[in-house]
Chain A
């Protein structure tokens, strides 16, 4: 009984504190506690930790340091980070704790769609901001869109649409899919199939493999006997890596083009060019694009010892853009900052002319890349030919197809 009473008292105290904080934030058009606090919520040790993980923390810290040096804000900036272990409940609990007790204003990275959707709900409830640079699901800006969430780097539509259209138009018009047998894989397959068919291509078949299958040779043999010109890999992480490795071993790459639907420079680096040459896929960022990307990426490399993934570059850009918006409005109050974010045109090493739409989607150019042959690569991490720049208005789902209630039609 006594313990229950104490529990209730503590709970009540915590609630009143939290409420007090919320009031304080609404009241003043100034930065609460003279402190902007940014939380990087990511996978620090699991399957996506190379894609986001410590690299995202490093990128966010770089953005904070650069912003401090350039803008010399009157308020302090603090960075916190945590491992969500790819579990939606762990992620949303952490977000709640950060918002309630630590005064975190903005959460970023949040890779893994399940975690992102959960954190987005908490963010809306607590009236803070989520700038998601890691998750893939288009639900974040459609059925589950939120006035407090920005989806910054990529989504399954952008990943599927680019290669689906561009590769088909190059005459590689028959596709076979290797699909991870869960929601993510299915939606990636569907989105790509739609793009292929819209461009006059056809889909000759698909094989659904279990998540984390240890051996892909059997599935690739089926892809081989389908005689499709393109084999699309609607899977991610270790599954993609092992599919590519087996494709190479079984000689698929001689007659068929392998298109990764969620492949990044991290995968290419892990596999090496001899295995991956000739593959095509969509990227949101490439370090060796121009002087600006090279300059930033080399600085990042100096700290992280690996070149940035599009998540890392996106996280830097997101934190920088957010801090500039706080500076411009003079407050960290979410509604005002979001309004500012949606009015800003983002121009930095990550995005040129980037815009945050009403549904929370940040649209920017994407790149269709082809992996170089080993002989063409001049230095470590020199991996891509840029085959096409997919302009922002074509790369992402058009607003006319939006299923987000925030979008007025």
Chain B
């Protein structure tokens, strides 16, 4: 059997595939962050907590109301988006004119409150959520055993990411959004309701986090701390991709998932650090990120 760097090619391909799965989560989460930062100039530290809230909502829906996975995939992001809208209207809108730091501190505080709330309600060990029946089992791809659910994760997040990119970069609505970011007063003068657009953008950005949360629920243990474990990596992804760059965050998310997957084969001890090493190098060479524009 042929080998790559002493690793059987089958195992190698398997690890690449897994890297892609993780990359999908990174991409979906960092996309939400990028949209929010790009449009609102808010560094949304509550993103991880809202991702956790998405998973929690899916669990609550199933256990209290008998709402299955598919409806959760629609309803939980809507719920999280609604929470986002409330946060934006009641708190964030006062901060747009201030330094980034204020938004960061506010959302960080919100993240701690949300996590504390769920920790108090459900403890830290987490809650089980089983894989929907349609996805039980696995595909035998010849080179690896790919659980059907993981394949679905890749597909679903790619579709959502590309659709978001398309809406923002290629449609009229997206053009309004970009205009509102560039020059809010002028855009408003053209009769476009900028505060409404900003509110919906934040709602949409965090709904993406909720969506990733529901996607993650069957694959990972739902726990109040699941967001804080992931959010730091996701921020690194956004920084590497370029703050606010939509395409950058999608490509970087997937790419870093792959790199991390390979690290897990060759030197597993470094697998949680490799993302940050890349971040440091990118910041040295291209301070605005791989896809970012210098302002």
| Chain A contacts to B: CB under 8 angstroms | 45-50, 181, 207-210, 212-215, 217-219, 221-222, 224-225, 237-238, 241-242, 245-246, 249-251, 266-267, 269-272, 274-275
Contacts and interface: CB of A to CB of B under 8 A. Distances in A.
Interface stretch (B118-126, B164-172, B173-181): B118-126
A209 B116 CA distance: 27
B18 A217 contact: yes
A269 B122 CA distance: 12
B145 A218 contact: no
Contact of A249 (B127, B219, B261): B219
Contact of B268 (A50, A209, A237, A238): A209
Given A238-B124, A251-B138, 9 more contacts: A45-B116, A47-B225, A48-B124, A212-B229, A214-B226, A238-B125, A266-B125, A267-B125, A269-B125
Contacts of A224: 145
Contacts of B229: 212, 214, 238
B128 A218 contact: no
Contact of A50 (B15, B22, B124, B144): B124
Interface residues of B, number: 41
B124 A210 contact: no
B283 interface: no
Nearest to A266: B125
A270 B125 CA distance: 6
B222 to A, nearest CB: 9
Given A50-B123, A181-B269, A210-B271, A270 B221 contact: yes
B220 A219 contact: no
A210 B229 CA distance: 12
Interface of B: 8, 11, 14-15, 18-19, 21-22, 116, 119, 123-128, 130-131, 138, 144-145, 147, 149-150, 219-221, 223, 225-226, 229-230, 233, 261, 264-265, 268-269, 271-273
B233 A214 contact: yes
21 contacts: A47-B225, A50-B123, A209-B268, A214-B22, A214-B229, A215-B22, A218-B268, A218-B271, A221-B15, A221-B144, A225-B8, A237-B125, A238-B126, A238-B225, A241-B223, A249-B149, A249-B219, A250-B145, A251-B147, A270-B128, A274-B130
B128 A271 contact: yes
